[in-house]
Every structure is written in C-alpha cells, then in structure tokens.
Amino acid sequence: MVSQGWSVVFLVVLVIGAGLLLWWIWRKPSSNESARSGVSDAAETVVSPRLIFSSEEATIFNLVKLAVQDHFLILGKLSLLQLVSFQDKDEDARRAVMRNLQPIRLDVVLVHPGTRQAQMVIRFGHEKEHTGMVDERERLMETVLKAAGIGLVELSLDHTYSVEQLTGLLGLAEEE
C-alpha cells in the first residue's frame, strides 16, 4: 500500500516536471535559433536596402541597356562564380581558386538569350587608388574571363557616352 502511494507521487512529479520542461522549451526561441536566422530581436538592429549602383554607374547601365537590349540580356552586380565553372582533378586546388574568385563582383554582364551564357562583361573604371589585392583580383578576373571566352570591356565613369558610342565599343555597330 505504501509503495502504491509513492508511485502516485512519483507519477505526479514526473508529469509536472514534463510540463515545466515543455513550457521552458516553447516559451521563447533559443539563442541558437535566433543566431541561425541571422536577424536579432534587439531594438538596435536596423535592416535597410543598399544601393546596387552609384548614380554614375546607373547612368551607364541604362545607356548600355539601351544599346544592347535587342542583342543581350543585361545583368548587374553578379559574382564571377555565377558565370564560370571549374573542373580540376585536384580538389584542393579547385577550392583555392573558388575562394579567390568568391569576392569578385562584375558590374554588368551581357548574356546571349539563346545560349544563356555570358558573352561579355562590362567593368566600370574606378579612379580610386588600387591596392595590390585589388590589382591581383582584377588580373585573376581578366585571366578567368579570357580562359572562359568571355569578353571584357572597361567603361570610364568619368566619361559621358552616347548610345551609338556604346554600341560601337561593345562591337554591336551595324555595317552600313
């Protein structure tokens, strides 16, 4: 009879403990969950959109769009890794190349609508002082684009272009 009383007490304590455990788990998301979501609940966190192009870049982008819209699809600010694929027997070497290409962003990419492959990259000429790291990335970008058979054209942000000039610079001028 005494053992039956203890079993009832044990069962009640077990049910209350399970209820408290479930309440504790479901009362709020864990810190790991909020860290994984990438968004903090803190009132100090502000999320806002960033500019994709500067005003000079947007002007040239729109002119390029007018010049090539009948020939190409126009994409802006893509990663170089989205245009090329790498095959190498040495997986470590392939990963090293991919790591070096990861931060490289392309200003404008012209894509052939039939093949859906990049045909040309337009880089906006920045007059900023280049560091050795930036120059190394630019050389790597040029080498990769050349190896992939993708053309590269640089347009200066300090120059004013007409649609006809851009058509000629991009090799789309019609023969008369």
| Token pair listed for 143 | 């080498």
pLDDT at position 77 is 93
Mean per-residue pLDDT pooled into runs of 10, the chain (176 residues): 72 86 74 57 80 91 92 93 89 89 92 94 73 74 93 91 92 70
pLDDT at position 147 is 93
pLDDT at position 176 is 45
pLDDT at position 126 is 62
Main-chain dihedrals φ then ψ at residue 122, nearest 5 degrees: -110, 125
CA 68 – CA 110 distance, rounded (Å): 8
Q: Taking the complete model, does pTM exceed 0.75, yes or no?
A: no
pLDDT at position 1 is 56
DSSP 8-state symbol, 161: -
Every domain of the chain and the residues it spans: 2-37, 55-169
Which phi-psi region, left, alpha or beta, contains residue 75 (left: φ > 0; alpha: ψ -120 to 50)?
beta
pLDDT at position 138 is 86
Tally the residues of the chain. 176
